[in-house]
Amino acid sequence: MTSIEAVHRESALVGEGPIWLPQEQALYWIDIKGLRFFRYEAGSGTAQSWPAPERIGALIPRAQGGFVALAKSGVYTTDKSFTRFELHAAPDADIPTNRFNDAKCDAAGRLWAGTMDDDEKAASGRLYRFENLRAPTRMRDNINLSNGLGWGPDGRTMYFVETVRRIIWAFDYDLSDGNPTRERVFAEIPERDGYPDGLCVDAEGCIWLAHWGGWRLTRFTPNGVVDRVVRMPVPQLTSCAFGGANLDTLYVTSAAIGLDDATKAKAPLAGSLFAFKPGVRGLPVSSFRN
């Protein structure tokens, strides 16, 4: 699969949050604004979907089974049939226009999750670290749309995207205590390339970034230099994740929301899940430890 294929054809309004579960050889993803969960099984090519009770920004696998669901109203756990949702925390209850967006776990199983203004106007987002689901630590305030999170292969560098500011931040990261230090700009995305959205890190330590409005993915070296640009058949790429039996397939989510008729004609597969083999492998998904 060296060419880019639409492996799960959908018209997701805001497809997001791809996460590969190796024990199932399946990829889960969501449509935040279309209120759906999806499961794509790589071997058979079959797909399932379920309704979501509200806007869910990310799903994170739990070590004890099921998922953590980062939602509009707070942090939930749910089973894989998406029939039971248990609320654990609502850290942004004081800002009712906020919702959770992207989230990931570090290699030690800590959950990091960012919030954003659901109207995409105010810089009211926050970044949280969860050692457990009921007592998050607020790590950062005044964020313009929290987005992609990731860590280098040795866990010593953390990446975080602020979409509206068009910045990927990098931090030195202490895996023993989960504290980021030495904040710096890893990359700034020029306006012509759209907005930075979700990201993932490969086994060589390079960062793969999805561009909203850019018709592209970009691979950055660990020192922030553009290594490769992959042109995509749709404009609004939202996130990416490695999967497959050898973690050598890159899955990419996309969005169909807000496209005019001319763009829809150029991108009839907008909102689908895409996949291709980029010639490198990814890193295993970290589950939330509690």
Q: Report yes or no: 16 and 31 within 8 Å, Cβ to Cβ.
A: yes
Cα radius of gyration (the chain):
17
- pLDDT, tens digit, for every residue of 198-247? 999 999 999 999 999 999 999 999 999 999 999 999 999 999 999 999 99
Residue at 289 is within a domain = no
Residue at 88 is within a domain = yes
pLDDT score of 1 more than 80: no
Residue at 233 is within a domain = yes
pTM: predicted TM-score of the whole model, two decimal places: 0.97
Residue at 282 is within a domain = no
Task: Show which residues are catalytic.
Answer: 197
Domain that holds residue 36: 5-276
Residue at 219 is within a domain = yes
What CATH number did the domain enclosing 218 receive?
2.120.10.30
Exposure of 277 in the CB half-sphere (CA atoms within 13 A):
8
- pLDDT, tens digit, for every residue of 257-272? 999 999 999 999 999 9
pLDDT score of 108 more than 60: yes
Residue at 59 is within a domain = yes
- pLDDT, tens digit, for every residue of 117-171? 999 999 999 999 999 999 999 999 999 999 999 999 999 999 999 999 999 999 9
Strands 67-71, 56-61: pairing is antiparallel
**How many domains is the chain partitioned into structurally?**
1
Residue at 169 is within a domain = yes
